[in-house]
């Protein structure tokens, strides 16, 4: 919320000309949900500092819907760090307050914008994953970076540091325009949030402000992705334009992930089997779904249930099987179902295809007669999201009551977890997993279910197998 | 069904004698589907609509008059089938007028000019042919009105209720299961129930030789199967017939009784299943007696609907859609129940357990299938305890729901299927046929057999009971509507995060704050809460200190065995402590076990179990510290905001101070504002820190109970809040390390000193950083009011509200804007949730099936998904 820029260029007061702002006056301008104040705490020929102080109004933030949406924690709309941190609000204020300087124009002193100045900038405070992230983003641009960490709560030392830093950047010789562009782009990248809707013009802004330095920045892909909120439709063309004439675009930058905060819940995502990480996730889930679809094909099932269908990746595969006459995709999350509707373009499906598909909300813990009369049910990566004590109800609903001809259940193989470097012992691959079973545990459960409900069962490894620990996932095929 | 040619005057007749809503006319349907009541091309669609409308009305049991020609047998056949489907009796009214009359009438109606000359004679010919077959087609009553005079002479239609309708009869009853000729046991049972049975000299051949004196106001109600197998069927008949004659008993027939009736009517019946004994016993009886028996049995009605529809009795039970209806299928069901068509290993038909799917509001008491122990299932109970097989003879006292039994003196007949085997045929959750599959499915057959039939049934709830628009009747509000979209949200929360629903007896309602205070520097103040209750005509309130922790409901049994008995839960410990959304409070089972054990100990020390004659309880409480559950939230949200603010603001203030030395216009004001924000951030950090302390073990937890919600057999919504406070204070004394009694005061709202003292108390509490207080009406549910009163209002302190409204909420300009808040929606929601919560718990203590409790709990959760300002 506070940015100061200091120069010791002689005379330092040239800063006022460069910024086109009079050092003798406090100036205030309206920005989204608040005000930006611009003033000079010191303005001598030896040393001149300009300060940009943001006063974000928390009440206006809520009323203009520019603050956090408060999903998961309703009060977040009202109690949040937006008024105190450097964020996209600061970037917008920068471009508004220092428009001419950012564009490198200075009517009175046309030579000044291209003059290399000794510059110092302070941001209080800057959110970042860690101090190293600040170093990685600013050092390649020639800055000497100093960071001051702040405790989450000084009275509770065991909570450690917060994600807020006081950031100081020092550069011996730099155009002011460049400093402003760096800050303009990198502040929202570090904060990883934007108070406005990102659209195509955002890519233009990035290309404009980053043209001079971004293509050479080692973390350009990370910066681009973050800046464009990971929206593939903007990120990819932008990267291509940025790197025009340069080396070909790599699939995934390995630096990309190491810059992110360590996220144990994304174990499968960051797991590296000698392949780029995100691709591995894709392929493991695809292996699962392909295997299940193949099994449905083998079974010759005509009416198929996809229980816990999520956004419909398996549904799509099932609809492609000629002998499948009807698919009922069910999920407990209404939002996931909406996503499935969109992804599968249900509204635009031709009537014949539309008739083959039903998407509906439902729960695997309540008896549901709509599930009766199916040839097969796929339950892919679902059971581990149920409390173990609720599995008896799940068993009743699917095996004892709905009684599909075949049931395909997949779940992670806990034996394999030791292969994930980011997982510590006993930790699960996903924060919502209530359990992860070893191969023996899964076999035992499957055998019990089969016996109690009159099914035969076969359990197999799912995914590339590794000696000792097996494959990442496992599949049980129950048949009546 | 009106039958008559076009122009016979059917519509006029119908309009004259029935309500317009009772008439479904083919002409009208034709007009509805085609804009023209004479468009013959629309006939198929018109009749599809007619049949649909008739079906909907019959489903609801409403009298329906079909106004169509109905002269063709195939037209009538569909309608008669509809009547059968909905178990109502079809009646034919034939309007038989000469062709000329009909033709004349049609001629004056312009729209019927097109009807050909041949049409009416043809219809009349069809009608004439029909007259002979109507009876065989299934019409129970046929009225043939010949000529316009007879038709016009009909002044009114008398509607006779069905014989089975005894809704006016409220009991009380002593409902007695299958007697099967066990006279001695019957006399013993009647005596035990307070009846006196005396022999009476027989002066006339028609005298039955026995007289029964009933206890005041009570009547016996026999479930049939009076005869066969046992030693004294004629005596049993004598006694029951006499009681029915005297009006001291009602009786419905059993399949064995009907078999006897068939025999007495001269039909050939086989002498298996104990009929041979009856024949033998009847051999010495007079023809007069046999004749009396025949008349008696012939007059029995298949089932009764009693006590305003709250009680249904039938020999083999009755599905909801058949109750109070009349058809051959209803009678057959009442006598024989439902079978799957399969034959079991003893050569007996496998019974389909209709009770496992029963959802009706009426209690159904039945017999027919011997069970070792009568068990409630979905508000139905089979009380045939196989007396004749050496079991017992059982009566159910209604409305007390008490079971009274006498043992059989001996085994009079060896059952084909041993009684113990019968026990495993008791209905359960599964497909309603046999429990065996389900026992296995729970993974532990030994444990699951310890569960009652209802508990096993409750292992699985039905999605149809919670999804879609739900309208829940409650004691406190006539109906609470749960919108479908709210149910959608609740289904996800319930499925993904909530505990086993068997633990979820109650979810607390949301609580509204008092109206916004107009005082400077404050958003909330007790004055507004007191005003609210004054406006509601509440004279006394209770002010309770509000603990800032996590709201929890504690459901706890004395031991795991009691938990199994009362909650039907096996292997999940003796109790649970759950949050407002039904989630387990504890993630750490070690801590959970220790906490529950310590609470059990405290209850034992306090003598709670004995004092309330219970082995379980349900508490509404606050569990402290707040950080125990909300640690992540506090770190990621509250502490983070404080960290950002306290790191950024001093730097800003420093820069501003430096600028101030340059005498720039406006800097001073900005500096003052920034310094104020810096102070606000510090206060904010202090505010949340008060409610955080590390939890390493149970010793760091504090439970502050404030409502004793329920124990075995009762709730405590009838007790005032002072009682709750004192009762729980006594409990808290048993373990002051774990339990925290809530400081409170009773305030007489008319007494200014009381009010001032309470206000001062609040001021002191909140000045010291306390969250504030909750103001409740003295009575839990204030009586004698038109509207439900808010069960509680909160008045939160100035410091505490920093956590809710953000660090800067008290800064100039902010508070004014924040005052614009509306509590109305929140209050409305609080009342609906309160009504649902009370209803659910009352249903639970009354022993209702889980789905009825769950419906209320699910409803509260669904209502919580309404969009409401979370700061309220």
Task: Give the pLDDT means over successive 10-residue stretches in chain B (872 positions).
Answer: 91 94 94 89 93 95 94 92 93 91 80 73 88 90 91 90 91 95 96 93 82 93 95 94 94 95 90 89 90 94 95 96 91 88 74 86 94 91 94 95 94 78 39 36 47 86 92 94 92 94 96 92 94 95 94 96 93 95 93 96 97 97 92 89 95 95 91 94 92 91 97 96 97 96 96 96 93 96 88 95 91 85 91 97 94 96 88 86
Question: Strand runs (DSSP E) across A318-431, as ranges?
Answer: 326-331, 357-361, 366-367, 376-380, 406-412
Range(s) of the domain holding residue A130: 2-196
Give Dmax over CA atoms of chain B in angstroms.
Answer: 127
Residue in chain B lying closest to A332 (CA): B492
Measure CB to CB from residue B645 to each of A2, A84, A452 and give the nearest one: A84
Average pLDDT taken over every residue of chain A: 87
Q: pLDDT of A310-349, one tens digit each?
A: 999 999 999 999 999 999 999 999 999 999 999 999 988 8
- Binning pLDDT at 50, 70 and 90, where does residue A229 land? confident
Residue in chain A lying closest to B818 (CA): A59
Residue in chain A lying closest to B865 (CA): A74
- Binning pLDDT at 50, 70 and 90, where does residue A253 land? very low
Measure CB to CB from residue B644 to each of A43, A78, A84 and give the nearest one: A84
How far CA B27 is from CA of A51, B23, B36, B39, B618, in Å, comes to: 85, 11, 8, 9, 61
| CATH code: domain of residue A104 | 3.30.1610.20
| CATH code: domain of residue A304 | 3.40.50.150
- Binning pLDDT at 50, 70 and 90, where does residue A254 land? very low
Q: How many CB atoms lie within 10 A of CB B866?
A: 17
Q: How far is A211 from chain B (nearest CA, A)?
A: 31
Residues A135 and A52 in one domain: yes
Per-residue confidence (pLDDT) for residue B114, from 0 to 100: 67
Q: How far is B429 from chain A (nearest CA, A)?
A: 9
pLDDT at A281 over 70: no
Q: Is A56 on the interface with B (CB under 8 A)?
A: no
For the residues of A85-118, what is the DSSP string, one character each?
S-SHHHHHHHHHHTHHHHTT--SS-TTGGGS-EE
Per-residue confidence (pLDDT) for residue B705, from 0 to 100: 97
Tell me the torsion sign for CA atoms B833, B835, B841, B846.
negative
Residue in chain A lying closest to B500 (CA): A390
Q: pLDDT of A436-457, one tens digit each?
A: 999 999 999 999 999 999 999 9
Residues A53 and A157 in one domain: yes
The number of angstroms, rounded, from the C-alpha of B39 to the middle of its chain's C-alpha atoms is 48
Residues A187 and A333 in one domain: no
What SS3 state is found at A476? strand
Please check whether residue B370 is in contact with residue B359, taking contact to mean a CB–CB distance below 8 angstroms. Answer: no
A39 falls within a domain: yes
Measure CB to CB from residue B818 to each of A59, A79, A162 and give the nearest one: A59
Per-residue confidence (pLDDT) for residue A266, from 0 to 100: 47
Measure CB to CB from residue B808 to each of A58, A367, A399 and give the nearest one: A58
- Binning pLDDT at 50, 70 and 90, where does residue A70 land? low
* Residues of chain A by 3-state class (helix, strand, coil), percent to 5: 40, 25, 35
Confidence check on the interface: ipTM exceeds 0.90, yes or no: no
Per-residue confidence (pLDDT) for residue A252, from 0 to 100: 38
The number of helices, as runs of H, and strands, as runs of E, in chain B is 31, 33
Please check whether residue B552 is in contact with residue B625, taking contact to mean a CB–CB distance below 8 angstroms. Answer: no
Q: Which residues of A touch B488 (CB under 8 A)?
A: 334, 361
Per-residue confidence (pLDDT) for residue A69, from 0 to 100: 64
Contact A2 B651 (CB under 8 A): yes
Structure tokens at A357: 């598909």
Contact B437 A453 (CB under 8 A): yes
Measure CB to CB from residue A2 to each of B642, B648, B814 and give the nearest one: B648
Mutation to test the A interface, candidates B503, B587, B647, most A Cβ within 10 Å: B647
Burial label, B677 (beta-carbon count in 10 A; 0-12, 13-18, 19+):
buried
Residues A461 and A377 in one domain: yes
Q: Which residue has the higher pLDDT, A258 or B554?
A: B554
Residue in chain B lying closest to A159 (CA): B635
Please check whether residue B218 is in contact with residue B196, taking contact to mean a CB–CB distance below 8 angstroms. Answer: no
DSSP letter, residue B92: E
151-170 in A: which are within 8 Å (CB) of B? 151-153, 155-156, 158-159, 162-164, 166
Residues A156 and A284 in one domain: no
A259 falls within a domain: no
Q: Which residues of B touch A401 (CB under 8 A)?
A: 430-431, 460
Mutation to test the B interface, candidates A124, A328, A360, most B Cβ within 10 Å: A124
Q: Is A127 on the interface with B (CB under 8 A)?
A: yes
Q: Which residues of B touch A361 (CB under 8 A)?
A: 467, 488, 491
Residues A328 and A448 in one domain: yes
Residue in chain A lying closest to B587 (CA): A434
Q: Which residues of A touch B645 (CB under 8 A)?
A: 81, 83-84
Q: Is A349 on the interface with B (CB under 8 A)?
A: no
Cα angle B274-B276-B282, degrees, rounded to a multiple of 5: 110
pLDDT at A39 over 80: yes
pLDDT at A248 over 80: no
DSSP letter, residue B787: S
Q: Is A84 on the interface with B (CB under 8 A)?
A: yes
Contact A399 B689 (CB under 8 A): no
Structure tokens at B795: 């008045």
Q: Which has the closest alpha carbon to A409: A350, A477, A326?
A: A477
Per-residue confidence (pLDDT) for residue B784, from 0 to 100: 78
Measure CB to CB from residue B648 to each of A85, A153, A361 and give the nearest one: A85
Conformational region of residue A341, where left means phi above 0, alpha means psi within -120 to 50, and beta covers everything else: alpha
Q: Which residues of B touch A42 (CB under 8 A)?
A: 658, 662
pLDDT at A385 over 50: yes
Structure tokens at B121: 């004679």
Contact B639 A162 (CB under 8 A): yes
Measure CB to CB from residue B648 to each of A76, A125, A389 and give the nearest one: A125
Q: How far is B858 from chain A (nearest CA, A)?
A: 13
Contact A76 B637 (CB under 8 A): yes
High-pLDDT (> 70) share of chain A, %: 91
Residues A174 and A293 in one domain: no
**Domain stops at, among A178, A196, A214:** A196
**Domain stops at, among A170, A196, A222:** A196
Q: Which has the closest alpha carbon to B223: B193, B260, B256?
A: B256
A330 falls within a domain: yes
A262 falls within a domain: no
**Residue A175: which residues within 8 A CB-CB, separation 6 or more?**
A104, A113, A114, A115, A116, A117
**Domain stops at, among A177, A196, A215:** A196
Residues A192 and A280 in one domain: no
3-42 in A: which are within 8 Å (CB) of B? 4, 24-26, 28, 37, 39-42
Mutation to test the A interface, candidates B448, B463, B501, most A Cβ within 10 Å: B463
Where helices occur in B510-639 by DSSP H, the ranges are: 526-535, 560-567, 589-605, 608-611, 627-633
Measure CB to CB from residue A396 to each of B441, B492, B635 and give the nearest one: B441
Measure CB to CB from residue A332 to each of B491, B659, B685 and give the nearest one: B491
Q: How far is A470 from chain B (nearest CA, A)?
A: 28
- Residue A458: enclosing H or E segment and its boundaries? strand A456-462
85-124 in A: which are within 8 Å (CB) of B? 85, 122, 124
Structure tokens at B513: 């704050």
DSSP letter, residue B678: H
Q: Which residues of B touch A53 (CB under 8 A)?
A: 652, 655-656, 670, 674
Residues A186 and A305 in one domain: no
Q: Which residues of B touch A392 (CB under 8 A)?
A: 441-443, 459
Structural domain total, chain A? 2
Q: Which residues of B touch A369 (CB under 8 A)?
A: 464
The CA distance from A176 to A116, in Å, is 8
Residues A17 and A160 in one domain: yes
For chains A and B, what is the number of CB pairs under 8 angstroms?
208
Residue A55: beta bridge partners? A35
Contact B492 A333 (CB under 8 A): yes
Residues A53 and A171 in one domain: yes
Contact A85 B640 (CB under 8 A): no
Please check whether residue B512 is in contact with residue B736, taking contact to mean a CB–CB distance below 8 angstroms. Answer: no
Mean pLDDT of A11-33: 91
Q: How far is B497 from chain A (nearest CA, A)?
A: 8
Please check whether residue A260 is in contact with residue A136, taking contact to mean a CB–CB distance below 8 angstroms. Answer: no
Q: Which residues of B touch A41 (CB under 8 A)?
A: 655-656, 658-659, 662
Q: Which residues of A touch B637 (CB under 8 A)?
A: 73, 75-76, 79-80
Residues A335 and A456 in one domain: yes
């Amino acid at each position: 919320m506070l940015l100061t820029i200091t120069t010791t260029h002689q005379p330092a007061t040239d800063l006022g000309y460069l910024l086109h702002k009079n050092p003798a006056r406090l100036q205030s301008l309206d920005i989204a949900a608040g005000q930006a104040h611009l003033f000079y705490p010191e303005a001598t020929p030896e040393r001149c500092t300009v300060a940009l102080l943001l006063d974000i109004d928390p009440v206006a933030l809520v009323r203009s819907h520019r603050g956090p949406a408060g999903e998961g924690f309703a009060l977040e709309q009202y109690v949040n760090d937006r008024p105190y941190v450097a964020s996209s609000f600061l970037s917008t204020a920068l471009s508004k307050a220092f428009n001419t300087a950012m564009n490198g124009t200075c009517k009175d002193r046309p030579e000044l914008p291209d003059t290399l100045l000794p510059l110092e900038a302070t941001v209080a405070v800057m959110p970042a994953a860690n101090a190293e992230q600040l170093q990685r983003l600013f050092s390649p641009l020639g800055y000497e970076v100093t960071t001051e960490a702040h405790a989450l709560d000084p009275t509770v030392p065991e909570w450690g540091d917060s994600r807020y830093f006081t950031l100081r950047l020092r550069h011996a010789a730099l155009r002011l325009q460049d400093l402003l562009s760096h800050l303009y782009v990198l502040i929202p990248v570090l904060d990883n949030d934007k108070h406005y809707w990102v659209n195509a013009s955002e890519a233009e802004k990035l290309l404009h402000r980053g043209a001079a330095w971004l293509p050479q920045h080692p973390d350009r892909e990370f910066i681009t992705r973050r800046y464009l909120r990971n929206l593939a439709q903007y990120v990819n063309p932008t990267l291509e334009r940025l790197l025009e004439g340069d080396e070909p675009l790599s699939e995934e930058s390995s630096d990309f992930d190491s810059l992110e905060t360590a996220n144990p819940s994304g174990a499968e995502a960051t797991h590296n089997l000698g392949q780029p990480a995100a691709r591995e996730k894709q392929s493991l889930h695809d292996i699962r779904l392909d295997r299940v679809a193949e099994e449905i094909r083998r079974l010759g099932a005509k009416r198929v249930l996809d229980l816990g269908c999520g956004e419909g990746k398996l549904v799509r595969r099932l609809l492609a099987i000629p002998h499948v006459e009807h698919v009922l995709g069910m999920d407990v999350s209404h939002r996931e179902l909406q996503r499935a509707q969109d992804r599968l373009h249900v509204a635009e499906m031709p009537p014949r295809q539309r008739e083959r598909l039903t998407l509906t909300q439902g729960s695997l813990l309540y008896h549901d007669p709509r599930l009766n009369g199916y040839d097969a049910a796929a339950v892919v990566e679902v059971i581990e999201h149920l409390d173990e004590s609720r599995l008896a109800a799940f068993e009743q609903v699917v095996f004892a009551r709905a009684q599909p001809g075949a049931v395909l259940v997949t779940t992670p193989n806990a034996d394999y977890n030791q292969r994930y470097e980011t997982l510590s012992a006993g930790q699960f691959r996903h924060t919502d997993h209530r359990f992860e079973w070893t191969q023996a545990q899964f076999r035992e459960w499957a055998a019990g279910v089969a016996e109690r409900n009159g099914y035969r069962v076969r359990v197999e490894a799912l995914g590339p197998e590794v000696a000792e620990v097996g494959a990442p996932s496992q599949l049980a095929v129950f048949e009546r | 069904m009106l039958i008559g040619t076009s122009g016979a005057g059917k519509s006029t007749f119908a309009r004259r004698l029935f309500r317009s809503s009772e008439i479904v006319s083919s002409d009208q349907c034709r007009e509805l589907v085609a804009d023209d009541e004479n468009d013959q091309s629309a006939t198929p669609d018109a009749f599809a609509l007619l049949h649909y409308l008739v079906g909907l009305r019959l489903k609801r049991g409403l009298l329906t008059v079909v106004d169509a020609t109905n002269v063709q047998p195939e037209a009538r056949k569909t309608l008669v089938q509809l009547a059968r489907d909905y178990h109502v009796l079809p009646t034919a009214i034939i309007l038989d007028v000469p062709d000329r009359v009909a033709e004349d009438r049609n001629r004056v109606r312009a729209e019927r000019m097109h009807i050909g000359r041949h049409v009416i004679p043809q219809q009349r010919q069809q009608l004439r042919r029909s007259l002979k077959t109507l009876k065989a087609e299934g019409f129970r009553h046929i009225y043939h009105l010949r000529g316009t005079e007879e038709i016009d002479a009909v002044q009114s239609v008398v509607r006779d209720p069905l014989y089975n309708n005894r809704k006016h009869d409220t009991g009380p009853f002593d409902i007695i299961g299958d007697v099967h000729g066990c006279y001695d046991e019957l006399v013993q049972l009647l005596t035990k129930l307070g009846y006196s049975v005396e022999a009476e000299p027989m002066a006339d051949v028609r005298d039955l030789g026995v007289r029964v004196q009933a206890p005041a106001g009570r009547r016996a109600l026999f479930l049939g199967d009076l005869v066969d197998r046992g030693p004294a069927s004629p005596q049993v008949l004598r006694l029951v017939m006499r009681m029915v004659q005297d009006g001291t008993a009602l009786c419905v027939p059993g399949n064995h009784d009907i078999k006897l009736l068939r025999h007495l009517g001269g039909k050939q019946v086989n002498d298996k299943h104990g009929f041979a004994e009856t024949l033998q016993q009847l051999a010495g009886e007079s023809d007069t007696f046999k004749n009396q028996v025949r008349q008696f049995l012939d007059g029995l009605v298949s089932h009764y609907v009693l006590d305003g529809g709250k009680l249904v009795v039938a020999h083999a039970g009755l599905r909801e859609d058949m109750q109070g209806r009349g058809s051959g299928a209803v009678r057959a069901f009442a006598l024989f129940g439902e079978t799957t068509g399969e034959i079991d290993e003893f050569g007996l038909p496998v019974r389909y357990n209709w009770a496992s799917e029963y959802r009706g509001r009426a209690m159904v008491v039945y017999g027919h299938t011997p069970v070792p122990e009568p068990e409630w299932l979905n508000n139905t109970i089979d009380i045939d305890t196989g007396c004749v097989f050496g079991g017992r003879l059982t009566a159910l006292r209604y409305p007390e729901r008490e079971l009274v039994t006498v043992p059989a003196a001996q085994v009079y007949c060896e059952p084909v299927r041993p009684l113990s085997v019968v026990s495993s045929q008791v209905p359960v959750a599964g497909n309603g046929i046999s429990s065996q599959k389900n026992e296995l499915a729970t993974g532990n057959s030994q444990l699951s057999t310890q569960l009652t039939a209802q508990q096993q049934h409750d292992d699985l709830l039905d999605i149809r009971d919670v999804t879609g628009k739900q309208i829940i009747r409650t004691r406190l509000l006539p109906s609470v509507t749960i919108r479908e979209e709210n149910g959608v949200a609740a289904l996800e929360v319930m499925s993904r995060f909530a505990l086993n629903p068997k633990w979820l007896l109650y979810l607390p309602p949301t609580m509204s704050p008092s109206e916004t205070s107009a005082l400077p520097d404050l958003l909330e103040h007790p004055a507004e809460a007191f005003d609210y209750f004054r406006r509601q005509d509440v004279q006394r309130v209770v002010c309770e200190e509000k603990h800032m922790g996590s709201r929890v409901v504690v459901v706890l049994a004395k031991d795991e065995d009691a938990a199994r008995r009362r909650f039907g839960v096996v292997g999940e410990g003796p109790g649970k402590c759950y949050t407002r959304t039904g989630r387990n409070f504890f993630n750490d089972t070690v801590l959970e076990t220790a906490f529950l054990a310590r609470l059990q100990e405290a209850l034992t020390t306090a003598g709670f179990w004995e004092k309330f004659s219970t082995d379980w309880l349900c508490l509404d409480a606050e569990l402290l510290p707040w950080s125990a559950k909300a640690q992540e939230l506090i770190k990621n949200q509250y502490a983070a905001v404080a960290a950002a603010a306290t790191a950024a603001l001093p730097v800003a203030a420093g820069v501003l101070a430096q600028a101030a030395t340059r005498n720039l216009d406006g800097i001073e004001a900005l500096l003052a504002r920034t310094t104020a924000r810096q102070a606000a951030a510090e206060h904010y950090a202090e505010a949340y820190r008060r409610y955080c302390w590390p939890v390493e073990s149970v010793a760091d937890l504090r439970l502050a109970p404030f409502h004793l919600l329920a124990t075995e057999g009762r709730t405590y919504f009838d007790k005032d809040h002072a009682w709750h406070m004192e009762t729980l204070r006594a409990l808290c004394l048993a373990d002051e390390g774990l339990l925290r009694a809530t400081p409170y005061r009773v305030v007489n709202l008319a007494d200014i000193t009381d009010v001032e003292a309470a206000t001062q108390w609040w001021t002191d509490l909140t000045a010291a950083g306390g969250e504030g207080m909750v103001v409740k009406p003295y009575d839990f549910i204030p009586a004698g009011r038109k509207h439900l009163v808010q069960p509680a209002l909160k008045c939160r302190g100035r410091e505490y509200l920093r956590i809710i409204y953000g660090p800067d909420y008290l800064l100039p300009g902010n508070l004014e804007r924040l005052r614009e808040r509306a509590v109305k929606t929140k209050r409305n929601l609080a009342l609906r949730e309160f009504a649902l919560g009370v209803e659910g718990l009352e249903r639970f203590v009354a022993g209702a099936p889980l789905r009825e409790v769950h419906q209320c709990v699910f409803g509260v959760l669904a209502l919580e998904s309404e969009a409401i300002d979370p700061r309220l």
